Chains A and B, each alone.
Chain A
Amino acid sequence: MSGLPVPMTELAATATSTGEALQFWVLGTIAVLGGLGTVLMRRAVHSALCLAGTMIILALFYLANGAYFLGVVQIVVYTGAVMMLFLFVLMLVGVSAADSLKETLKGQRWLAAGCGLGLGILLIAGIGQVSVGSFNGLAAANAQGNVPALASLLFTKYVVAFEVVGALLTVAAVGATLLTHRERVEKNKSQREQAIERVRGGKQLPPLPAPGVYARHNAVDRPALLPDGSPAELSVNPTLRSRGQIREVSAEQLARLAAVEQRTAEYHGRSAYPGPKDPGERALERAAADRAEERDDDATERGTEREEEAAK
């Protein structure tokens, strides 16, 4: 804009140059593509990006049409504030939430697309009926500059509307804080209550083991190794665990570990290290041990019962 030798007031004048026509066709195409992308993209984040692109192009159109203040406000308010708010809520609500494909009303999508097409045909046919002359140009209106001219209109002719809009903004801000404010229904649990609950529930009492194998990897998706070399599933974040994103400690690595143990054992002249067991095997063993313990308990109970009977 500023690179042109013509003064600002003569821009956006009566006649449209070929440059403006070219700008219109190129940017207009991109704006329509952006609009289509907003509707058709599966993910809401992509839709938001497409919409931001369309809004920036609309800002360029405003600038080309002599609305310098609105062009800047469009970028600052729309692509800056409103779209950021959209993205903020998207992050809050869940980025991956895609549209459900279940149709509550049968054929609603096609009907809606048909309605949209009908509206478009109606609008464009309606505009086709109208004959407009050329631009009158804003040279006279923008003579003292776009912003002073707008301000003098806004604070004289439209001052009541301006005040009402101010009230509307205040009400909207208060309403939004009121809507998103959440009253706490139940008392916050104290640390002591939480500790008691954990003990009663028989959950893990000490802190969970940290992920990563010392001196080799400290990535959070890599489980720590137990003393026998098998991976400790508990050391990986529950989210990663439920997604199945635990990186396996490779068999090769375990074998190398076993070899080191073996060599150490040989050096010290002790019996060879049995090697790491896989978690399934260990679970089986643990279950077997539990069962054996239970059987012992049963046996002692039965023994005491028999003694009691004998005493009778």
Chain B
Amino acid sequence: MSPINYVYLAALLFTIGAAGVLIRRNAIVVFMCIELMLNAANLTLVAFSRMHGNLDGQIMAFFVMVVAAAEVVVGLAIIVMLYRARHSASVDDASLMKL
């Protein structure tokens, strides 16, 4: 099996995540799709790490995970705040800057 298969799989998952971000309206599901995209990128990093025979790719994937965790914490806090203000988690309802 060629190592490129892992990259194909990651590309497929990334595409699915990107399409989900564009299609879905529920802010939480949009967030989950972003997570899917980040994970797909991590898969390529890990596969490249094995391809090149050094661990720098894995370190990159580790940093991506940490940044993703920070992003999830802040993003979900924003969603909770939006929900409190508008009683809806739909991204279409957040089209105005003010209440």
Shortest Cβ distance from A118 into chain B, in angstroms?
A: 9
Q: How far is the CA of A177 from the CA of B77 in the complex (A)?
A: 8
Which residues does chain B contribute within 8 Å of A12, judged by CB atoms? 50
Can you name the residue of chain A whose Cβ is closest to the Cβ of B5?
A: A24
Q: Which of B66, B77, B92 contacts A168 (CB 8 A)?
A: B66
Given A51-B35, A115-B22, A123-B11: A65 and B49 interface contact (C-beta under 8 Å): yes
Q: Are A150 and B88 in contact (CB under 8 A)?
A: no
Q: Is A97 an interface residue (CB 8 A)?
A: yes
Q: Are B42 and A123 in contact (CB under 8 A)?
A: no
A-side interface mostly: helix
Q: What residues make up the interface of A, taking CB atoms closer than 8 Å to B?
A: 12, 16, 20-21, 24, 28, 31-32, 35-36, 38-39, 44, 47-48, 51, 54-55, 58, 61-62, 65-67, 69-70, 73-74, 77-78, 81-82, 85-86, 89-90, 92-94, 97-100, 102, 104, 109, 112-113, 115-117, 119-120, 123-124, 127, 130, 132-138, 140-142, 146, 149-150, 153-154, 158, 161, 165, 168-169, 171-173, 175-177, 179-180, 182
Query: Can you report 23 A-B residue pairs in the complex whose CB atoms are below 8 A from each other?
Result: A35-B16, A38-B36, A44-B26, A61-B43, A65-B50, A67-B46, A70-B46, A74-B42, A77-B65, A86-B28, A112-B22, A117-B15, A124-B12, A134-B3, A135-B3, A136-B52, A136-B53, A150-B59, A154-B62, A158-B59, A165-B66, A173-B73, A175-B73
